[in-house]
Amino acid sequence: MFPRVVAALCSSAFLVSAAHAAITVNFSVGTQQPLLCAAAENVRLTPAASVQGTRFSFDCMSDGVRRTCQPAVASTTDPDILPNGPAVKYVPTGGGATIAVVCDDSSNAAPVSIKGTEVVGMAGPGNIFDCHPARDITFDANVPNDSCISGSGAGSGACLRFQCRNDAAPRACFPVTQLSYTAQLPDSASALRRVEIVCEMRPPMLRDDFDS
């Protein structure tokens, strides 16, 4: 049964929406730790004349990131995966499905695409850059200074908190003087969404919290 399901998925583009079923995606790339997304939406397998042109993509609700890759060529005796087809395994569950994909990370494969929300702008005299995908983004229009950045003194203002992909700890931008949000960027953009900010930095906030 399952090989026929996978064959059907590979013969034409498919889309699975989490609005109708609980979809879990196990996303593996080379020797990296596999990503297990317990709540995926817009799960797509777009076919092509060969595996090299096939694309698998999904949106993970826990981090707001869309991941796309070229599946590896399946070389397995697993009856649920078509031999020499894309390494995508679809297993129905009681409330939805689990989909496992092994991405091709060879030099000839299409690169893995990771698109989420990027944060750009100015923090005092420095630029905020290479913050993509950002997570845990929160904005408070008026909070005590010290609750945004410890040691920033009395008063209140607007505070933006976020964490960049390669950061070990969250960042805080305060006080925010300008903020704009673009909910949908063109497909050609490197991100799905963009937060643009301008914030002042006053002592003791002038420290190495931002790229510059």
C-alpha 151/C-alpha 15 separation (Å) is: 49
Report the domain count for the chain: 2
Confidence (pLDDT) at 5? 43
Are residues 97 and 18 part of one domain? yes
Select from 66, 91, 113 the last residue of a domain.
113
| Dihedral (Cα; 201, 184, 191, 124), 10-degree rounding | -10
Q: Is residue 209 part of a domain?
A: no
For residue 107, what are the contacts with CB-CB under 8 A and spacing of at least 6?
A: none
Average pLDDT for 186-190 = 93
Select from 80, 113, 146 the last residue of a domain.
113
Please state, as a whole number, how many other Cβ atoms lie within 10 Å of the Cβ of residue 88: 22
Are residues 142 and 77 part of one domain? no
Segments forming the whole domain that contains residue 98? 2-113
Are residues 32 and 75 part of one domain? yes
Q: What is the pLDDT of residues 123-179, one digit of tens each?
A: 877 888 889 999 999 999 999 988 888 777 778 889 999 999 888 888 888 889 999
Average pLDDT for 37-48 = 92
Q: What is the pLDDT of residues 24-35, one digit of tens each?
A: 999 999 989 999
Are residues 92 and 57 part of one domain? yes
Are residues 164 and 96 part of one domain? no
DSSP per residue, 135-150: EEEEEEEEEEHHHHST
Q: Is residue 212 part of a domain?
A: no
pTM of the model: 0.79
13-26 per-residue burial string, b: 16 or more CB within 10 A, e: under 16: eeebebeeeebbbe
Confidence (pLDDT) at 142? 92
Confidence (pLDDT) at 1? 40
Going by pLDDT thresholds of 50, 70 and 90, the confidence category of residue 17 is low
Confidence (pLDDT) at 206? 39
Are residues 179 and 103 part of one domain? no
Confidence (pLDDT) at 154? 77
Confidence (pLDDT) at 147? 86
Please, are residues 80 and 121 in contact by the beta-carbon 8 Å criterion? no
Per-chain mean pLDDT for the chain: 84
Are residues 94 and 37 part of one domain? yes
